[in-house]
Amino acid sequence: INMDVVSYLYGPMQVQPLGWFKKPVSNVSQMKGLKFRTVGLSVDIFTALGTAVNPLPGGEIVPALDRGLIDAAEFNNASSDRTLGFADVAKNCMLQSFHQSGEQFEILFNGPKYKALPQDLKSIIDYAAQAASADMSWKAIDRNSQDYIELKKAGVKFYKTPDAILRAQLASWDKTVAKKSTENPFFKRVLDSQRAFAERAGQWHADYTVDFKMAYNHYFGRTAKKT
Protein backbone atom coordinates (compact mmCIF):
# COMPACT_ATOMS: atom_id res chain seq x y z
CA ILE A 1 0.00 0.00 0.00
CA ASN A 2 3.09 2.22 -0.09
CA MET A 3 2.56 3.41 3.48
CA ASP A 4 4.64 3.15 6.64
CA VAL A 5 2.56 0.80 8.80
CA VAL A 6 3.03 -1.84 11.48
CA SER A 7 0.86 -4.88 10.83
CA TYR A 8 -0.52 -7.63 13.07
CA LEU A 9 -2.31 -10.67 11.67
CA TYR A 10 -5.51 -11.22 13.63
CA GLY A 11 -8.34 -13.71 13.75
CA PRO A 12 -7.62 -16.67 11.46
CA MET A 13 -10.79 -17.78 9.69
CA GLN A 14 -12.00 -21.25 8.88
CA VAL A 15 -12.23 -22.55 5.31
CA GLN A 16 -15.00 -20.70 3.53
CA PRO A 17 -17.67 -22.39 1.38
CA LEU A 18 -17.49 -22.40 -2.40
CA GLY A 19 -20.76 -20.52 -2.22
CA TRP A 20 -24.53 -20.49 -2.28
CA PHE A 21 -26.30 -21.76 -5.40
CA LYS A 22 -29.82 -21.99 -6.74
CA LYS A 23 -28.88 -25.51 -7.84
CA PRO A 24 -25.88 -27.55 -6.60
CA VAL A 25 -23.01 -27.93 -9.06
CA SER A 26 -21.33 -31.28 -9.67
CA ASN A 27 -18.64 -30.43 -12.23
CA VAL A 28 -16.61 -27.56 -13.68
CA SER A 29 -18.78 -27.21 -16.78
CA GLN A 30 -21.75 -26.28 -14.60
CA MET A 31 -19.78 -23.31 -13.28
CA LYS A 32 -19.34 -21.85 -16.75
CA GLY A 33 -21.60 -18.91 -17.47
CA LEU A 34 -22.88 -18.57 -13.91
CA LYS A 35 -23.27 -14.99 -12.72
CA PHE A 36 -21.20 -15.28 -9.56
CA ARG A 37 -20.38 -12.88 -6.73
CA THR A 38 -16.91 -12.85 -5.23
CA VAL A 39 -14.15 -10.34 -4.48
CA GLY A 40 -10.36 -9.97 -4.31
CA LEU A 41 -8.04 -12.49 -5.95
CA SER A 42 -11.01 -14.83 -6.12
CA VAL A 43 -12.33 -12.70 -8.98
CA ASP A 44 -9.46 -13.95 -11.15
CA ILE A 45 -9.89 -17.55 -9.99
CA PHE A 46 -13.62 -17.76 -10.67
CA THR A 47 -13.28 -15.86 -13.93
CA ALA A 48 -10.81 -18.53 -15.08
CA LEU A 49 -13.42 -21.15 -14.13
CA GLY A 50 -15.78 -19.55 -16.62
CA THR A 51 -18.10 -17.60 -14.32
CA ALA A 52 -19.23 -14.04 -14.96
CA VAL A 53 -18.01 -12.39 -11.77
CA ASN A 54 -19.81 -9.48 -10.13
CA PRO A 55 -17.94 -8.12 -7.05
CA LEU A 56 -21.02 -6.87 -5.23
CA PRO A 57 -20.66 -5.40 -1.72
CA GLY A 58 -21.98 -7.58 1.09
CA GLY A 59 -25.28 -5.81 1.60
CA GLU A 60 -26.29 -6.20 -2.05
CA ILE A 61 -25.65 -9.94 -2.43
CA VAL A 62 -28.87 -11.43 -1.06
CA PRO A 63 -31.18 -8.97 -2.90
CA ALA A 64 -29.28 -9.68 -6.13
CA LEU A 65 -29.70 -13.44 -5.64
CA ASP A 66 -33.37 -12.96 -4.86
CA ARG A 67 -33.99 -10.94 -8.04
CA GLY A 68 -31.93 -13.27 -10.24
CA LEU A 69 -29.27 -10.68 -11.00
CA ILE A 70 -26.71 -13.29 -9.95
CA ASP A 71 -26.94 -17.09 -9.93
CA ALA A 72 -24.60 -17.85 -7.03
CA ALA A 73 -22.40 -16.11 -4.49
CA GLU A 74 -19.83 -16.61 -1.78
CA PHE A 75 -19.45 -14.39 1.27
CA ASN A 76 -17.82 -15.82 4.38
CA ASN A 77 -18.97 -18.40 6.93
CA ALA A 78 -22.06 -19.97 8.47
CA SER A 79 -22.61 -17.14 10.95
CA SER A 80 -22.05 -14.26 8.55
CA ASP A 81 -24.00 -15.97 5.76
CA ARG A 82 -26.94 -16.68 8.06
CA THR A 83 -26.97 -13.10 9.35
CA LEU A 84 -26.94 -11.79 5.79
CA GLY A 85 -30.00 -13.91 4.94
CA PHE A 86 -28.68 -16.32 2.33
CA ALA A 87 -31.05 -19.06 3.50
CA ASP A 88 -34.02 -16.88 2.52
CA VAL A 89 -33.08 -16.86 -1.18
CA ALA A 90 -30.97 -20.00 -1.79
CA LYS A 91 -31.11 -23.46 -0.26
CA ASN A 92 -27.91 -25.04 -1.60
CA CYS A 93 -24.51 -24.35 -0.08
CA MET A 94 -21.36 -25.97 -1.45
CA LEU A 95 -18.84 -26.56 1.35
CA GLN A 96 -15.04 -26.69 1.11
CA SER A 97 -13.08 -24.56 -1.31
CA PHE A 98 -9.55 -23.36 -1.91
CA HIS A 99 -10.42 -19.80 -2.93
CA GLN A 100 -10.51 -18.49 0.67
CA SER A 101 -9.18 -21.34 2.77
CA GLY A 102 -6.85 -19.48 5.13
CA GLU A 103 -7.86 -15.85 5.47
CA GLN A 104 -7.04 -13.58 8.39
CA PHE A 105 -7.92 -10.09 9.43
CA GLU A 106 -5.17 -7.52 9.81
CA ILE A 107 -4.63 -4.76 12.35
CA LEU A 108 -2.67 -1.81 10.96
CA PHE A 109 -1.00 0.93 12.96
CA ASN A 110 0.46 4.17 11.70
CA GLY A 111 4.16 3.33 11.51
CA PRO A 112 5.74 6.57 12.83
CA LYS A 113 3.20 6.87 15.66
CA TYR A 114 3.65 3.22 16.68
CA LYS A 115 7.44 3.47 16.64
CA ALA A 116 7.26 6.58 18.83
CA LEU A 117 5.46 4.68 21.60
CA PRO A 118 7.40 3.55 24.69
CA GLN A 119 8.27 -0.15 24.79
CA ASP A 120 5.69 -0.99 27.45
CA LEU A 121 2.84 0.28 25.26
CA LYS A 122 4.22 -1.58 22.25
CA SER A 123 4.23 -4.75 24.36
CA ILE A 124 0.64 -4.15 25.42
CA ILE A 125 -0.42 -3.80 21.78
CA ASP A 126 1.52 -6.94 20.85
CA TYR A 127 -0.04 -9.12 23.55
CA ALA A 128 -3.50 -7.59 23.07
CA ALA A 129 -3.43 -8.47 19.36
CA GLN A 130 -2.37 -12.04 20.13
CA ALA A 131 -5.01 -12.43 22.85
CA ALA A 132 -7.78 -11.00 20.68
CA SER A 133 -6.77 -13.31 17.82
CA ALA A 134 -6.89 -16.40 20.04
CA ASP A 135 -10.20 -15.24 21.53
CA MET A 136 -11.75 -14.84 18.10
CA SER A 137 -10.56 -18.27 16.97
CA TRP A 138 -12.53 -20.32 19.48
CA LYS A 139 -15.53 -18.00 19.42
CA ALA A 140 -15.73 -18.36 15.63
CA ILE A 141 -15.80 -22.16 15.97
CA ASP A 142 -18.54 -21.89 18.60
CA ARG A 143 -20.69 -19.46 16.61
CA ASN A 144 -20.26 -21.09 13.21
CA SER A 145 -21.07 -24.58 14.49
CA GLN A 146 -24.31 -23.32 16.05
CA ASP A 147 -25.34 -21.37 12.97
CA TYR A 148 -24.52 -24.37 10.75
CA ILE A 149 -27.18 -26.31 12.68
CA GLU A 150 -29.67 -23.45 12.40
CA LEU A 151 -29.14 -23.21 8.65
CA LYS A 152 -29.91 -26.93 8.34
CA LYS A 153 -33.09 -26.38 10.34
CA ALA A 154 -34.01 -23.65 7.85
CA GLY A 155 -33.92 -26.21 5.04
CA VAL A 156 -30.48 -25.49 3.62
CA LYS A 157 -28.82 -28.46 1.92
CA PHE A 158 -25.04 -28.67 2.23
CA TYR A 159 -22.88 -30.44 -0.34
CA LYS A 160 -19.17 -31.11 -0.57
CA THR A 161 -17.53 -29.30 -3.47
CA PRO A 162 -16.47 -31.93 -6.06
CA ASP A 163 -12.75 -32.64 -6.35
CA ALA A 164 -12.84 -31.70 -10.04
CA ILE A 165 -13.82 -28.14 -9.13
CA LEU A 166 -11.17 -27.99 -6.40
CA ARG A 167 -8.49 -29.11 -8.86
CA ALA A 168 -9.69 -26.51 -11.36
CA GLN A 169 -9.39 -23.85 -8.65
CA LEU A 170 -5.76 -24.80 -8.06
CA ALA A 171 -5.02 -24.61 -11.77
CA SER A 172 -6.71 -21.20 -11.94
CA TRP A 173 -4.72 -20.03 -8.93
CA ASP A 174 -1.45 -21.06 -10.56
CA LYS A 175 -2.24 -18.98 -13.63
CA THR A 176 -3.42 -16.01 -11.56
CA VAL A 177 -0.36 -15.78 -9.32
CA ALA A 178 2.05 -16.40 -12.19
CA LYS A 179 0.62 -13.38 -14.01
CA LYS A 180 0.58 -11.15 -10.93
CA SER A 181 4.10 -12.20 -9.93
CA THR A 182 5.34 -11.02 -13.31
CA GLU A 183 3.51 -7.71 -12.96
CA ASN A 184 4.39 -6.98 -9.33
CA PRO A 185 7.77 -7.86 -7.73
CA PHE A 186 6.39 -7.29 -4.22
CA PHE A 187 3.54 -9.72 -4.87
CA LYS A 188 6.11 -12.32 -5.95
CA ARG A 189 8.22 -11.73 -2.83
CA VAL A 190 5.22 -12.22 -0.55
CA LEU A 191 4.06 -15.28 -2.50
CA ASP A 192 7.51 -16.89 -2.37
CA SER A 193 7.62 -16.39 1.40
CA GLN A 194 4.15 -17.89 1.82
CA ARG A 195 5.00 -20.88 -0.35
CA ALA A 196 8.18 -21.60 1.62
CA PHE A 197 6.20 -21.56 4.87
CA ALA A 198 3.36 -23.63 3.38
CA GLU A 199 5.74 -26.29 2.10
CA ARG A 200 7.30 -26.72 5.54
CA ALA A 201 4.21 -26.29 7.72
CA GLY A 202 1.90 -28.11 5.32
CA GLN A 203 4.00 -31.27 5.35
CA TRP A 204 4.11 -31.24 9.14
CA HIS A 205 0.34 -30.66 9.38
CA ALA A 206 -0.51 -33.36 6.85
CA ASP A 207 1.75 -35.94 8.52
CA TYR A 208 0.96 -35.13 12.15
CA THR A 209 -2.77 -34.33 12.10
CA VAL A 210 -5.14 -37.28 12.50
CA ASP A 211 -8.41 -37.44 10.55
CA PHE A 212 -10.92 -36.48 13.25
CA LYS A 213 -13.85 -37.61 11.11
CA MET A 214 -13.14 -41.19 12.19
CA ALA A 215 -13.46 -40.23 15.84
CA TYR A 216 -16.52 -38.08 15.17
CA ASN A 217 -18.31 -40.94 13.41
CA HIS A 218 -17.28 -43.34 16.18
CA TYR A 219 -18.98 -41.21 18.84
CA PHE A 220 -21.67 -39.29 16.97
CA GLY A 221 -22.24 -41.03 13.60
CA ARG A 222 -25.36 -42.93 12.59
CA THR A 223 -23.98 -46.27 13.81
CA ALA A 224 -22.39 -44.87 16.98
CA LYS A 225 -23.31 -46.53 20.26
CA LYS A 226 -25.54 -44.32 22.34
CA THR A 227 -24.36 -43.74 25.89
* CATH code, 97: 3.40.190.170
pLDDT value at residue 203: 97
Q: Quick one: 204 and 121 in the same domain?
A: no
Cα distance between residue 99 and residue 175, in whole Å: 13
pTM, to two decimals:
0.91
Q: Quick one: 195 and 85 in the same domain?
A: no
Q: Which domain holds residue 103?
A: 5-179
pLDDT value at residue 213: 94
Q: Quick one: 126 and 27 in the same domain?
A: yes
Q: What are the residues facing 157 on neighbouring strands?
A: 92
For 22-66, write each residue's pLDDT tens digit.
999 999 999 999 999 999 999 999 999 999 999 999 999 999 999
Q: What is the mean pLDDT of the chain?
A: 96
Q: Quick one: 147 and 199 in the same domain?
A: no
Q: Is the pLDDT assigned to residue 227 strictly greater than 80?
A: no
Q: Quick one: 155 and 190 in the same domain?
A: no
Q: Quick one: 43 and 116 in the same domain?
A: yes
For 174-195, write each residue's pLDDT tens digit.
999 999 999 999 999 999 999 9
Q: Quick one: 153 and 64 in the same domain?
A: yes
Q: Is the pLDDT assigned to residue 165 strictly greater than 90?
A: yes
Q: Quick one: 221 and 151 in the same domain?
A: no
Q: Quick one: 80 and 164 in the same domain?
A: yes
Q: Quick one: 125 and 225 in the same domain?
A: no
Confidence of residue 225 (pLDDT cuts 50, 70, 90): confident
The pLDDT > 90 percentage for the chain reads 96
The number of distinct structural domains making up the chain is: 2
Q: Quick one: 192 and 173 in the same domain?
A: no
pLDDT value at residue 73: 98
